Chains A and B, each alone.
Chain A
Amino acid sequence: MSNFDINAKLNELPIDMRRRAIDRLEIARLRRSKRGIAKLMLFLALLGPGILVMIADNDAGGVITYAQSGSIFGIGFFIPLLVLMIPVAYMVQEMTVRMAAVTRRGHAEMIWRRYGSFWGAFSLADLLIANSLTLVTEFIGITFGLAVFGVPPVAAVAAGAAFITTITLTMRYHTWERASLIVAFINLIFIPLVLFAHPDWSLVASTFLTWHINGGFRPLFIYILLANLGTTIAPWMLFFQQSSEVDKGTVLEDLKSGRRDTLIGAVVMSVVAISIMVFAGTLVFNPGISANVTTAAYDLGNILSVVASKVGMLPVKLFAIGLVDAGLISAIALTASTSWAVGEAFRWPKSINLPFMEGRKFYIPGLVAVFIAAGIVLIPHLPLSFLNITVQVIASIFMPAALLFLLLLVNDKEIMGPHVNRRWENAAIIAIMIVLISMSGLYGISLVFPHILGV
Protein backbone atom coordinates (compact mmCIF):
# COMPACT_ATOMS: atom_id res chain seq x y z
CA MET A 1 0.00 0.00 0.00
CA SER A 2 1.48 3.36 -1.07
CA ASN A 3 2.07 6.07 1.53
CA PHE A 4 1.51 8.75 -1.09
CA ASP A 5 -1.05 11.27 0.20
CA ILE A 6 -2.68 13.25 -2.60
CA ASN A 7 -4.53 15.49 -0.15
CA ALA A 8 -1.23 16.62 1.38
CA LYS A 9 0.13 17.33 -2.09
CA LEU A 10 -2.95 19.31 -3.04
CA ASN A 11 -2.68 21.33 0.17
CA GLU A 12 0.87 22.35 -0.74
CA LEU A 13 -0.47 24.26 -3.77
CA PRO A 14 -1.80 27.85 -3.60
CA ILE A 15 -5.60 27.80 -3.39
CA ASP A 16 -6.31 28.76 -7.03
CA MET A 17 -3.90 26.12 -8.35
CA ARG A 18 -5.27 23.58 -5.87
CA ARG A 19 -8.81 24.09 -7.09
CA ARG A 20 -7.70 23.87 -10.70
CA ALA A 21 -5.68 20.74 -9.92
CA ILE A 22 -8.79 19.11 -8.39
CA ASP A 23 -10.80 19.95 -11.52
CA ARG A 24 -8.06 18.53 -13.72
CA LEU A 25 -7.74 15.40 -11.59
CA GLU A 26 -11.42 14.80 -12.19
CA ILE A 27 -10.94 15.26 -15.96
CA ALA A 28 -7.99 12.83 -15.87
CA ARG A 29 -10.10 10.30 -13.92
CA LEU A 30 -12.97 10.54 -16.41
CA ARG A 31 -10.54 10.16 -19.33
CA ARG A 32 -9.24 6.90 -17.87
CA SER A 33 -12.68 5.41 -17.37
CA LYS A 34 -14.15 3.17 -20.06
CA ARG A 35 -17.74 3.55 -18.83
CA GLY A 36 -20.29 5.30 -21.02
CA ILE A 37 -21.49 7.53 -18.18
CA ALA A 38 -17.89 8.68 -17.60
CA LYS A 39 -17.58 9.62 -21.28
CA LEU A 40 -20.78 11.65 -21.00
CA MET A 41 -19.52 13.31 -17.80
CA LEU A 42 -16.23 14.12 -19.54
CA PHE A 43 -18.06 15.63 -22.51
CA LEU A 44 -20.13 17.81 -20.17
CA ALA A 45 -17.15 18.75 -17.98
CA LEU A 46 -15.19 20.02 -20.97
CA LEU A 47 -18.05 22.22 -22.18
CA GLY A 48 -18.03 25.79 -20.94
CA PRO A 49 -16.16 28.81 -22.30
CA GLY A 50 -17.21 28.28 -25.94
CA ILE A 51 -20.92 28.00 -25.17
CA LEU A 52 -20.76 30.82 -22.62
CA VAL A 53 -19.02 33.27 -24.92
CA MET A 54 -21.37 32.59 -27.83
CA ILE A 55 -24.60 32.77 -25.82
CA ALA A 56 -23.36 35.84 -23.94
CA ASP A 57 -22.82 37.42 -27.35
CA ASN A 58 -26.61 37.24 -27.84
CA ASP A 59 -26.84 40.02 -25.25
CA ALA A 60 -29.66 42.47 -24.63
CA GLY A 61 -28.46 44.70 -27.48
CA GLY A 62 -28.16 41.66 -29.75
CA VAL A 63 -31.68 40.47 -28.94
CA ILE A 64 -33.06 43.91 -29.79
CA THR A 65 -31.04 44.00 -33.03
CA TYR A 66 -32.36 40.58 -34.15
CA ALA A 67 -35.95 41.54 -33.29
CA GLN A 68 -35.63 44.80 -35.23
CA SER A 69 -34.01 43.05 -38.20
CA GLY A 70 -36.87 40.55 -38.45
CA SER A 71 -39.52 43.22 -37.92
CA ILE A 72 -38.19 45.58 -40.57
CA PHE A 73 -36.78 43.22 -43.21
CA GLY A 74 -38.47 39.90 -42.52
CA ILE A 75 -36.47 36.71 -42.77
CA GLY A 76 -35.46 36.72 -46.46
CA PHE A 77 -31.87 37.90 -46.06
CA PHE A 78 -30.86 37.59 -42.43
CA ILE A 79 -31.51 33.89 -41.78
CA PRO A 80 -28.96 32.69 -44.36
CA LEU A 81 -26.60 35.42 -43.11
CA LEU A 82 -26.84 34.17 -39.53
CA VAL A 83 -26.09 30.62 -40.67
CA LEU A 84 -23.03 31.96 -42.51
CA MET A 85 -21.90 33.64 -39.31
CA ILE A 86 -21.50 30.25 -37.59
CA PRO A 87 -18.14 29.47 -39.28
CA VAL A 88 -17.06 33.10 -38.93
CA ALA A 89 -17.64 33.14 -35.16
CA TYR A 90 -16.16 29.65 -34.81
CA MET A 91 -12.95 30.40 -36.70
CA VAL A 92 -12.23 33.58 -34.78
CA GLN A 93 -12.95 32.08 -31.36
CA GLU A 94 -11.13 28.80 -32.10
CA MET A 95 -7.89 30.75 -32.31
CA THR A 96 -8.35 31.92 -28.71
CA VAL A 97 -8.89 28.31 -27.56
CA ARG A 98 -5.70 27.22 -29.33
CA MET A 99 -3.70 30.12 -27.93
CA ALA A 100 -4.96 29.46 -24.40
CA ALA A 101 -4.08 25.75 -24.65
CA VAL A 102 -0.59 26.44 -26.00
CA THR A 103 0.44 29.50 -23.97
CA ARG A 104 -1.72 29.14 -20.81
CA ARG A 105 -2.02 32.92 -20.90
CA GLY A 106 -4.92 35.32 -21.38
CA HIS A 107 -5.29 37.61 -24.40
CA ALA A 108 -4.54 40.85 -22.50
CA GLU A 109 -1.42 39.35 -20.97
CA MET A 110 -0.12 38.11 -24.31
CA ILE A 111 -0.59 41.52 -25.98
CA TRP A 112 1.04 43.31 -23.03
CA ARG A 113 4.03 41.00 -22.74
CA ARG A 114 4.66 40.37 -26.45
CA TYR A 115 4.00 43.82 -27.92
CA GLY A 116 4.79 46.14 -25.02
CA SER A 117 2.99 48.41 -22.62
CA PHE A 118 1.76 50.91 -25.26
CA TRP A 119 -0.35 48.36 -27.14
CA GLY A 120 -1.14 46.55 -23.90
CA ALA A 121 -2.47 49.71 -22.28
CA PHE A 122 -4.34 50.66 -25.47
CA SER A 123 -6.07 47.28 -25.66
CA LEU A 124 -6.85 47.24 -21.95
CA ALA A 125 -8.24 50.79 -21.86
CA ASP A 126 -10.39 50.14 -24.92
CA LEU A 127 -11.67 46.86 -23.49
CA LEU A 128 -12.48 48.37 -20.09
CA ILE A 129 -14.36 51.33 -21.56
CA ALA A 130 -16.29 49.13 -24.02
CA ASN A 131 -17.09 46.54 -21.33
CA SER A 132 -18.29 49.16 -18.85
CA LEU A 133 -20.53 50.83 -21.40
CA THR A 134 -21.84 47.51 -22.71
CA LEU A 135 -22.71 46.62 -19.10
CA VAL A 136 -24.94 49.69 -19.07
CA THR A 137 -26.85 48.34 -22.09
CA GLU A 138 -27.21 44.96 -20.30
CA PHE A 139 -28.78 46.70 -17.29
CA ILE A 140 -31.09 48.56 -19.66
CA GLY A 141 -32.21 45.16 -21.03
CA ILE A 142 -32.67 43.74 -17.52
CA THR A 143 -34.70 46.78 -16.45
CA PHE A 144 -36.85 46.68 -19.61
CA GLY A 145 -37.50 42.94 -19.27
CA LEU A 146 -38.42 43.06 -15.59
CA ALA A 147 -40.67 46.09 -16.20
CA VAL A 148 -42.96 43.72 -18.16
CA PHE A 149 -43.56 41.98 -14.81
CA GLY A 150 -44.12 45.27 -13.01
CA VAL A 151 -40.72 45.41 -11.32
CA PRO A 152 -39.63 49.03 -10.75
CA PRO A 153 -36.25 50.06 -12.27
CA VAL A 154 -34.45 50.49 -8.93
CA ALA A 155 -35.46 47.00 -7.78
CA ALA A 156 -34.57 45.51 -11.20
CA VAL A 157 -31.11 47.08 -11.24
CA ALA A 158 -30.45 46.13 -7.59
CA ALA A 159 -31.55 42.53 -8.20
CA GLY A 160 -29.42 42.29 -11.36
CA ALA A 161 -26.32 43.70 -9.64
CA ALA A 162 -26.82 41.44 -6.61
CA PHE A 163 -27.17 38.36 -8.85
CA ILE A 164 -24.02 39.13 -10.84
CA THR A 165 -22.04 39.92 -7.66
CA THR A 166 -23.18 36.70 -5.97
CA ILE A 167 -22.23 34.50 -8.94
CA THR A 168 -18.86 36.24 -9.30
CA LEU A 169 -17.82 36.30 -5.66
CA THR A 170 -19.15 33.14 -4.10
CA MET A 171 -18.06 30.45 -6.55
CA ARG A 172 -14.83 28.87 -7.67
CA TYR A 173 -14.24 28.51 -11.44
CA HIS A 174 -15.97 25.16 -11.89
CA THR A 175 -19.17 26.14 -10.06
CA TRP A 176 -19.12 29.63 -11.61
CA GLU A 177 -18.95 28.02 -15.05
CA ARG A 178 -21.76 25.55 -14.28
CA ALA A 179 -23.96 28.32 -12.80
CA SER A 180 -23.28 30.53 -15.81
CA LEU A 181 -24.15 27.65 -18.15
CA ILE A 182 -27.52 27.30 -16.38
CA VAL A 183 -28.15 31.02 -16.87
CA ALA A 184 -27.07 30.61 -20.51
CA PHE A 185 -29.43 27.64 -20.90
CA ILE A 186 -32.41 29.89 -20.06
CA ASN A 187 -31.44 31.93 -23.13
CA LEU A 188 -32.77 29.01 -25.20
CA ILE A 189 -36.28 30.20 -24.23
CA PHE A 190 -36.21 32.14 -27.51
CA ILE A 191 -36.25 28.87 -29.48
CA PRO A 192 -39.71 27.53 -28.43
CA LEU A 193 -41.00 31.12 -28.50
CA VAL A 194 -40.97 30.92 -32.27
CA LEU A 195 -43.81 28.36 -32.14
CA PHE A 196 -46.20 31.08 -30.92
CA ALA A 197 -45.70 32.85 -34.23
CA HIS A 198 -46.74 29.78 -36.30
CA PRO A 199 -44.18 30.56 -39.03
CA ASP A 200 -44.41 29.09 -42.50
CA TRP A 201 -41.42 26.70 -42.28
CA SER A 202 -41.32 26.17 -46.05
CA LEU A 203 -40.85 29.93 -46.38
CA VAL A 204 -38.07 29.84 -43.80
CA ALA A 205 -36.36 26.99 -45.68
CA SER A 206 -36.77 28.77 -49.01
CA THR A 207 -34.72 31.76 -47.79
CA PHE A 208 -31.60 29.65 -48.36
CA LEU A 209 -32.51 29.27 -52.04
CA THR A 210 -33.88 32.72 -52.74
CA TRP A 211 -31.61 34.77 -50.40
CA HIS A 212 -32.95 38.23 -51.11
CA ILE A 213 -33.55 41.53 -49.37
CA ASN A 214 -37.21 42.30 -48.69
CA GLY A 215 -37.86 45.85 -49.83
CA GLY A 216 -34.61 45.97 -51.80
CA PHE A 217 -31.19 47.42 -51.06
CA ARG A 218 -31.50 50.73 -49.23
CA PRO A 219 -29.56 52.75 -46.64
CA LEU A 220 -31.45 51.30 -43.67
CA PHE A 221 -30.55 47.80 -44.82
CA ILE A 222 -26.82 48.59 -44.64
CA TYR A 223 -27.31 49.92 -41.12
CA ILE A 224 -29.17 46.79 -39.98
CA LEU A 225 -26.66 44.51 -41.75
CA LEU A 226 -23.77 46.23 -40.00
CA ALA A 227 -25.55 45.99 -36.65
CA ASN A 228 -26.00 42.23 -37.16
CA LEU A 229 -22.34 41.72 -38.05
CA GLY A 230 -21.33 43.89 -35.09
CA THR A 231 -23.33 41.74 -32.70
CA THR A 232 -21.83 38.45 -33.94
CA ILE A 233 -18.17 39.10 -33.20
CA ALA A 234 -17.11 41.51 -30.47
CA PRO A 235 -13.67 42.29 -29.01
CA TRP A 236 -14.56 41.23 -25.46
CA MET A 237 -15.28 37.71 -26.76
CA LEU A 238 -11.61 37.17 -27.65
CA PHE A 239 -10.44 38.26 -24.20
CA PHE A 240 -13.20 36.35 -22.40
CA GLN A 241 -12.76 32.98 -24.04
CA GLN A 242 -8.97 32.92 -23.89
CA SER A 243 -8.90 33.87 -20.20
CA SER A 244 -11.75 31.50 -19.42
CA GLU A 245 -9.97 28.58 -21.12
CA VAL A 246 -6.83 29.41 -19.14
CA ASP A 247 -8.71 29.58 -15.83
CA LYS A 248 -10.52 26.34 -16.67
CA GLY A 249 -7.15 24.65 -17.18
CA THR A 250 -7.45 23.85 -20.90
CA VAL A 251 -4.29 22.18 -22.22
CA LEU A 252 -3.39 20.83 -25.66
CA GLU A 253 -5.02 17.50 -24.86
CA ASP A 254 -8.34 19.37 -24.55
CA LEU A 255 -8.04 21.21 -27.85
CA LYS A 256 -10.49 18.95 -29.65
CA SER A 257 -13.12 19.33 -26.94
CA GLY A 258 -12.47 23.08 -26.75
CA ARG A 259 -13.17 23.30 -30.48
CA ARG A 260 -16.31 21.19 -30.07
CA ASP A 261 -17.48 23.46 -27.24
CA THR A 262 -16.93 26.53 -29.44
CA LEU A 263 -18.72 24.97 -32.41
CA ILE A 264 -21.74 23.98 -30.28
CA GLY A 265 -21.79 27.53 -28.89
CA ALA A 266 -21.67 29.07 -32.38
CA VAL A 267 -24.54 26.86 -33.59
CA VAL A 268 -26.65 27.61 -30.50
CA MET A 269 -25.95 31.33 -30.85
CA SER A 270 -27.13 31.23 -34.43
CA VAL A 271 -30.24 29.14 -33.67
CA VAL A 272 -31.29 31.56 -30.91
CA ALA A 273 -30.71 34.56 -33.17
CA ILE A 274 -32.65 32.93 -36.03
CA SER A 275 -35.53 32.10 -33.65
CA ILE A 276 -35.82 35.73 -32.55
CA MET A 277 -35.70 36.84 -36.16
CA VAL A 278 -38.35 34.35 -37.33
CA PHE A 279 -40.54 35.27 -34.35
CA ALA A 280 -40.41 38.99 -35.10
CA GLY A 281 -40.32 38.49 -38.86
CA THR A 282 -43.50 36.41 -38.81
CA LEU A 283 -45.50 38.51 -36.35
CA VAL A 284 -44.31 42.07 -36.94
CA PHE A 285 -42.84 42.30 -40.46
CA ASN A 286 -45.23 43.90 -42.91
CA PRO A 287 -43.87 44.26 -46.45
CA GLY A 288 -46.60 46.75 -47.30
CA ILE A 289 -45.49 49.44 -44.86
CA SER A 290 -41.85 48.77 -44.23
CA ALA A 291 -40.37 50.53 -47.27
CA ASN A 292 -39.74 53.90 -45.62
CA VAL A 293 -39.56 53.07 -41.93
CA THR A 294 -36.76 53.93 -39.51
CA THR A 295 -35.36 51.92 -36.60
CA ALA A 296 -37.05 54.38 -34.21
CA ALA A 297 -40.46 53.19 -35.42
CA TYR A 298 -39.45 49.64 -34.52
CA ASP A 299 -38.12 49.98 -30.99
CA LEU A 300 -38.59 46.99 -28.73
CA GLY A 301 -41.65 48.46 -27.01
CA ASN A 302 -43.44 48.84 -30.33
CA ILE A 303 -42.42 45.37 -31.48
CA LEU A 304 -43.73 43.75 -28.29
CA SER A 305 -46.99 45.74 -28.54
CA VAL A 306 -47.61 44.25 -31.98
CA VAL A 307 -46.72 40.78 -30.67
CA ALA A 308 -49.12 41.19 -27.72
CA SER A 309 -51.95 42.34 -30.01
CA LYS A 310 -51.51 39.26 -32.25
CA VAL A 311 -50.67 36.39 -29.90
CA GLY A 312 -51.30 37.70 -26.38
CA MET A 313 -49.11 38.47 -23.40
CA LEU A 314 -47.58 35.02 -22.75
CA PRO A 315 -45.03 35.25 -25.61
CA VAL A 316 -44.24 38.83 -24.54
CA LYS A 317 -43.53 37.62 -21.00
CA LEU A 318 -41.35 34.77 -22.31
CA PHE A 319 -39.50 37.25 -24.52
CA ALA A 320 -39.00 39.52 -21.49
CA ILE A 321 -37.55 36.58 -19.50
CA GLY A 322 -35.18 35.92 -22.40
CA LEU A 323 -34.18 39.59 -22.50
CA VAL A 324 -33.44 39.67 -18.76
CA ASP A 325 -31.47 36.46 -19.09
CA ALA A 326 -29.52 37.82 -22.08
CA GLY A 327 -28.58 40.87 -20.00
CA LEU A 328 -27.57 38.72 -17.02
CA ILE A 329 -25.41 36.18 -18.87
CA SER A 330 -23.64 38.92 -20.81
CA ALA A 331 -23.10 40.96 -17.64
CA ILE A 332 -21.59 37.90 -15.93
CA ALA A 333 -19.23 37.36 -18.88
CA LEU A 334 -18.30 41.05 -19.18
CA THR A 335 -17.57 41.27 -15.45
CA ALA A 336 -15.26 38.25 -15.61
CA SER A 337 -13.64 39.52 -18.81
CA THR A 338 -12.87 42.88 -17.14
CA SER A 339 -11.37 41.23 -14.05
CA TRP A 340 -9.27 38.77 -16.04
CA ALA A 341 -7.90 41.48 -18.35
CA VAL A 342 -6.88 43.79 -15.47
CA GLY A 343 -5.35 40.90 -13.52
CA GLU A 344 -3.38 39.74 -16.56
CA ALA A 345 -2.15 43.22 -17.45
CA PHE A 346 -0.93 44.18 -13.97
CA ARG A 347 0.27 40.72 -12.93
CA TRP A 348 -2.36 40.65 -10.21
CA PRO A 349 -4.16 37.49 -9.13
CA LYS A 350 -6.30 36.40 -12.07
CA SER A 351 -8.50 33.48 -11.25
CA ILE A 352 -12.12 32.92 -10.32
CA ASN A 353 -10.74 30.07 -8.19
CA LEU A 354 -9.54 32.65 -5.66
CA PRO A 355 -11.67 33.47 -2.60
CA PHE A 356 -12.53 37.17 -2.38
CA MET A 357 -9.93 38.16 0.22
CA GLU A 358 -7.02 36.52 -1.63
CA GLY A 359 -8.25 37.73 -5.02
CA ARG A 360 -9.82 41.09 -4.18
CA LYS A 361 -7.58 42.93 -6.66
CA PHE A 362 -8.92 40.56 -9.32
CA TYR A 363 -12.59 40.90 -8.43
CA ILE A 364 -12.80 44.61 -7.70
CA PRO A 365 -12.34 45.99 -11.28
CA GLY A 366 -15.17 43.84 -12.66
CA LEU A 367 -17.51 44.63 -9.79
CA VAL A 368 -16.72 48.36 -9.92
CA ALA A 369 -17.75 48.28 -13.59
CA VAL A 370 -21.01 46.51 -12.61
CA PHE A 371 -21.88 49.06 -9.92
CA ILE A 372 -21.01 52.05 -12.12
CA ALA A 373 -23.17 50.62 -14.93
CA ALA A 374 -26.03 49.92 -12.48
CA GLY A 375 -25.81 53.48 -11.17
CA ILE A 376 -25.74 55.03 -14.65
CA VAL A 377 -28.94 53.21 -15.70
CA LEU A 378 -30.79 54.83 -12.80
CA ILE A 379 -29.85 58.37 -13.84
CA PRO A 380 -33.06 60.12 -14.94
CA HIS A 381 -33.27 61.26 -18.57
CA LEU A 382 -30.19 59.25 -19.50
CA PRO A 383 -29.14 59.92 -23.12
CA LEU A 384 -29.47 56.26 -24.11
CA SER A 385 -28.97 56.76 -27.84
CA PHE A 386 -25.78 58.74 -27.22
CA LEU A 387 -24.55 55.99 -24.92
CA ASN A 388 -25.36 53.34 -27.49
CA ILE A 389 -23.48 55.31 -30.16
CA THR A 390 -20.44 55.55 -27.91
CA VAL A 391 -20.47 51.80 -27.19
CA GLN A 392 -20.68 50.92 -30.87
CA VAL A 393 -18.02 53.42 -31.93
CA ILE A 394 -15.52 52.16 -29.37
CA ALA A 395 -16.25 48.57 -30.36
CA SER A 396 -15.83 49.50 -34.03
CA ILE A 397 -12.41 51.02 -33.39
CA PHE A 398 -11.27 48.20 -31.18
CA MET A 399 -12.36 45.29 -33.37
CA PRO A 400 -9.64 45.62 -36.06
CA ALA A 401 -7.00 46.09 -33.37
CA ALA A 402 -8.20 43.05 -31.43
CA LEU A 403 -8.30 40.89 -34.57
CA LEU A 404 -4.87 42.09 -35.68
CA PHE A 405 -3.33 41.20 -32.31
CA LEU A 406 -5.07 37.85 -32.46
CA LEU A 407 -3.70 37.12 -35.93
CA LEU A 408 -0.17 38.24 -34.97
CA LEU A 409 -0.16 36.16 -31.81
CA VAL A 410 -1.60 33.03 -33.35
CA ASN A 411 1.02 33.16 -36.14
CA ASP A 412 3.88 33.76 -33.71
CA LYS A 413 6.01 30.58 -33.97
CA GLU A 414 8.03 31.56 -30.90
CA ILE A 415 4.99 31.12 -28.67
CA MET A 416 2.68 28.90 -30.74
CA GLY A 417 5.26 26.47 -32.15
CA PRO A 418 3.60 24.00 -34.53
CA HIS A 419 0.14 25.31 -33.57
CA VAL A 420 0.34 28.47 -35.69
CA ASN A 421 -2.41 29.02 -38.24
CA ARG A 422 -2.24 27.05 -41.47
CA ARG A 423 -2.26 29.01 -44.74
CA TRP A 424 -5.92 28.41 -45.51
CA GLU A 425 -6.82 29.45 -41.95
CA ASN A 426 -4.89 32.69 -42.35
CA ALA A 427 -6.51 33.31 -45.74
CA ALA A 428 -9.98 32.74 -44.26
CA ILE A 429 -9.28 34.87 -41.18
CA ILE A 430 -7.80 37.71 -43.26
CA ALA A 431 -10.89 37.63 -45.50
CA ILE A 432 -13.12 37.74 -42.40
CA MET A 433 -10.96 40.55 -40.99
CA ILE A 434 -11.25 42.62 -44.16
CA VAL A 435 -15.05 42.25 -44.18
CA LEU A 436 -15.36 42.94 -40.45
CA ILE A 437 -12.93 45.87 -40.54
CA SER A 438 -14.78 47.40 -43.49
CA MET A 439 -18.16 46.78 -41.93
CA SER A 440 -17.12 47.86 -38.44
CA GLY A 441 -15.53 51.00 -39.84
CA LEU A 442 -18.59 51.74 -41.95
CA TYR A 443 -20.81 51.04 -38.95
CA GLY A 444 -18.76 53.40 -36.80
CA ILE A 445 -18.98 56.08 -39.47
CA SER A 446 -22.72 55.49 -39.87
CA LEU A 447 -23.24 55.96 -36.14
CA VAL A 448 -21.47 59.30 -35.93
CA PHE A 449 -22.69 60.47 -39.34
CA PRO A 450 -26.17 58.87 -39.49
CA HIS A 451 -27.28 60.98 -42.48
CA ILE A 452 -24.73 59.13 -44.67
CA LEU A 453 -26.87 55.99 -44.49
CA GLY A 454 -30.13 57.85 -44.14
CA VAL A 455 -31.09 56.33 -40.79
Chain B
Amino acid sequence: MDNKTRYGFIKDEKGWEEFLKRERIRDYSQVHVPAARMKTWTKAAFLFLRIYIIVMVALIILGFLHVL
Protein backbone atom coordinates (compact mmCIF):
# COMPACT_ATOMS: atom_id res chain seq x y z
CA MET B 1 0.00 0.00 0.00
CA ASP B 2 1.53 3.38 -0.98
CA ASN B 3 1.61 6.35 1.36
CA LYS B 4 -1.18 8.15 -0.49
CA THR B 5 -3.60 5.27 0.15
CA ARG B 6 -2.22 4.33 3.55
CA TYR B 7 -2.49 7.84 4.94
CA GLY B 8 -5.56 8.82 2.94
CA PHE B 9 -7.10 10.35 6.07
CA ILE B 10 -4.97 13.41 5.29
CA LYS B 11 -6.88 14.72 2.32
CA ASP B 12 -5.53 18.20 1.66
CA GLU B 13 -3.06 20.93 2.57
CA LYS B 14 -5.17 21.99 5.59
CA GLY B 15 -5.25 18.42 6.93
CA TRP B 16 -1.48 18.16 6.50
CA GLU B 17 -0.83 21.41 8.37
CA GLU B 18 -3.19 20.28 11.14
CA PHE B 19 -1.30 16.99 11.37
CA LEU B 20 2.07 18.77 11.62
CA LYS B 21 0.69 21.11 14.27
CA ARG B 22 -1.04 18.38 16.29
CA GLU B 23 2.03 16.15 16.24
CA ARG B 24 4.33 19.14 16.80
CA ILE B 25 6.67 17.83 14.13
CA ARG B 26 8.29 21.23 13.54
CA ASP B 27 8.46 22.20 17.25
CA TYR B 28 11.40 19.91 17.78
CA SER B 29 14.08 22.36 16.70
CA GLN B 30 12.35 25.65 16.22
CA VAL B 31 10.44 26.71 19.33
CA HIS B 32 12.38 29.00 21.69
CA VAL B 33 12.74 27.91 25.33
CA PRO B 34 12.89 31.03 27.54
CA ALA B 35 15.15 31.34 30.59
CA ALA B 36 13.40 30.72 33.93
CA ARG B 37 12.44 33.60 36.21
CA MET B 38 14.15 32.76 39.49
CA LYS B 39 11.69 32.70 42.37
CA THR B 40 12.81 32.74 45.99
CA TRP B 41 12.39 29.02 46.50
CA THR B 42 14.22 28.30 43.23
CA LYS B 43 17.13 30.44 44.42
CA ALA B 44 17.05 28.58 47.75
CA ALA B 45 17.13 25.23 45.94
CA PHE B 46 20.16 26.28 43.90
CA LEU B 47 21.91 27.56 47.02
CA PHE B 48 21.32 24.17 48.67
CA LEU B 49 22.67 22.48 45.56
CA ARG B 50 25.85 24.59 45.53
CA ILE B 51 26.49 23.81 49.22
CA TYR B 52 25.79 20.11 48.63
CA ILE B 53 28.22 19.98 45.71
CA ILE B 54 30.96 21.78 47.65
CA VAL B 55 30.54 19.37 50.60
CA MET B 56 30.58 16.31 48.33
CA VAL B 57 33.62 17.49 46.33
CA ALA B 58 35.45 18.17 49.62
CA LEU B 59 34.51 14.67 50.82
CA ILE B 60 35.79 13.10 47.62
CA ILE B 61 39.12 14.97 47.78
CA LEU B 62 39.52 13.94 51.42
CA GLY B 63 38.54 10.37 50.55
CA PHE B 64 40.98 10.03 47.69
CA LEU B 65 43.76 11.59 49.74
CA HIS B 66 42.93 9.02 52.41
CA VAL B 67 43.03 6.15 49.89
CA LEU B 68 46.28 7.35 48.28
The chain A residues found within 8 Å of chain B, CB to CB, are 2, 4-7, 9-10, 13, 16-17, 20-22, 24-25, 28-29, 32, 103-105, 109-110, 113-116, 119, 122, 246, 249, 251, 253, 350-351, 393, 396-397, 400-401, 404, 408, 412, 414-415, 441, 444-445, 447-449
- In the complex, what distance in Å separates the CA atom of A356 from the CA atom of B29? 18
* Count of interface residues, chain B, beta-carbon cutoff 8 Å: 44
A104–B42 contact, CB under 8 A? no
Known: A113-B33, A114-B35, A251-B24. A448 touches B7 (CB 8 A): no
Would you call the interface of chain A mostly helix, strand, loop, or mixed?
Answer: helix
Task: State which of B6, B11, B52, B66 has its C-beta within 8 Å of the C-beta of A4.
Answer: B11
Contacts of A441 in B (CB 8 A): 56
Q: A109-B33, A414-B36 are in contact. Are A448 and B16 (CB under 8 A)?
A: no
Task: List residues of chain B with CB under 8 Å of any chain A CB.
Answer: 2-4, 6-7, 9-13, 15-16, 19-20, 22-29, 31, 33-37, 42, 45-46, 48-49, 52-53, 56-57, 59-60, 62-64, 66-67
Q: Known contacts being A4-B10, A4-B16, A24-B23, is A104 close to B36, with CB within 8 Å? A: no
A110 neighbours in B (Cβ, 8 Å):
33
Q: In the bound complex, do residue A103 and residue B16 qualify as a contact, i.e. CB atoms below 8 Å apart? A: no
A17 CB contact (under 8 Å) in B9, B26, B37, B63: B26
Q: Which residue of the partner chain B has the closest CB to A18? A: B25
Chain A residues, CB < 8 A from B33: 103, 105, 109-110, 113-114, 415
**A6 with B24, Cβ < 8 A, contacts A104-B31, A109-B33, A448-B59 known:** no
A16, A32, A393, A414: the one contacting B34 at CB < 8 Å is: A414
Contact A104 B28 (CB under 8 A): yes
- Cβ–Cβ < 8 Å partners of A401 in chain B: 49, 52-53
Residues of A within 8 A of B11 (CB): 2, 4
Could you say which residues of chain B place their CB within 8 Å of the CB of A25?
3, 6-7, 10, 19
- Which of A25, A396, A404, A444: most chain B CB closer than 10 A? A25
For B42, list chain A residues within 8 Å (CB). 408
Contacts of B37 in A (CB 8 A): 414
Contact in complex: A249, B13 (CB < 8 Å)? no
Complexed CA–CA distance, A104 and B15 (Å):
22
A157 to B20, CA, bound (A): 43
A110 to B36: give the CA distance in the assembly, Å. 10
Q: Which residues of A contact B36 (CB under 8 A)?
A: 114-115, 408, 412, 414
A6 contacts B66, CB within 8 Å?
Answer: no
- By a CB distance below 8 angstroms, the chain A residues around B19 are 21, 24-25, 28
Residue pairs across A and B with Cβ atoms less than 8 A apart, 17 shown, are A2-B12, A4-B11, A4-B16, A9-B16, A10-B3, A17-B28, A24-B25, A28-B23, A103-B33, A114-B35, A114-B36, A115-B36, A400-B52, A401-B53, A408-B36, A444-B60, A445-B59
Chain A residue with Cβ nearest B26: A17
Which residues of B have CB within 8 Å of A104? 24, 27-28, 31
Task: Please name the residue on chain B nearest to A415 by beta carbon.
Answer: B33
B2 to nearest A CB, angstroms?
A: 8
Residues of B contacting A24 with CB < 8 Å? 19, 23, 25
| Closest B residue by C-beta to A10 | B3
